[in-house]
Amino acid sequence: MNARQPHNDLNLESFWMPFTANRQFKAAPRMLVSADRMHYTSMDGRKVLDGTAGLWCVNAGHGRRRIAEAVERQLSMLDFAPAFQMGHPIAFDFAQRLAEVSPGGPEAGLDRIFFTGSGSESVDTTLKIALAYQRAIGQGTRTRLIGRERGYHGVGFGGISVGGIVNNRRVFPQLPGADHLRHTHDPSRNSFSKGLPKHGVEWPRILSGLLRCMAPKRLRQ
């Protein structure tokens, strides 16, 4: 596609864009056609600083030759190997390397890696693992989940349940037992602070109150 091709040559109707006011966007679209290092090039030839690294997934920059060559080598050798009853050595090697640099060192025991395809899938998988773990240790009644107001945890049903963005969950059913802690962002008190703030002791009390409300009646007494 020519970087200076006018956008009105495109039919924009079929692509339903996420988190976008589609009618407004398609009336005045902002099209990116190429990228190099930390800049995009728009369809009308302007350079645009990529201040969010794509959506936090191009942290090494765009068009990095070493990355492109490594991807090309791997695609030429093997583009995909299923993980159901099969595997590929690189996946196991990568999992081992991640386990070695996981937070807390060997004592933390964060040495099991489950790969997913997106952030939303990661959140929903994490919630499932947490619930399955409680059941496995004989505490299957521990099913309550607490998120934070205004927090974003993806667009799966689990993510919108623990997430605190109201519009994301307004018309959808949610996981039972999900609740939300008030958001800690408080610019009026946090601005220009240095060191530990003098406020914040109320948050453990608020969390404890949520836990008491969630607990079965016999445990509240």
Chain segment 111-120, per-residue pLDDT in tens: 999 999 999 9
Chain segment 6-41, per-residue pLDDT in tens: 455 789 999 999 999 999 999 999 999 999 999 999
Please give the Cα distance from 127 to 140 (Å, whole number).
Answer: 13
Please give the Cα distance from 85 to 82 (Å, whole number).
Answer: 8
Q: If phi over 0 gives left and psi between -120 and 50 gives alpha, with beta otherwise, what is residue 37?
A: left
Instruction: Tell me the helices (H) and strands (E) count for the chain, helix number first.
Output: 11, 5
Tell which residue, 180, 137, 175, 143, has the closest CA to residue 159: 175
Tens digits of pLDDT across the chain (221 residues): 444 444 557 899 999 999 999 999 999 999 999 999 999 999 999 999 999 999 989 999 999 999 999 999 999 999 999 999 999 999 999 999 999 999 998 889 899 999 999 999 999 999 999 999 999 999 999 899 999 999 999 999 999 999 999 999 999 999 988 999 988 877 887 777 677 777 777 888 888 888 877 665 544 44
User: What is the pTM for the complete model shown?
Assistant: 0.81
Please give the Cα distance from 35 to 214 (Å, whole number).
Answer: 49
**3-state class of 180 per DSSP?**
strand
Q: What DSSP state is assigned to residue 210?
A: H
Secondary-structure percent of the chain, ordered helix, strand, coil, rounded to 5: 40, 10, 50
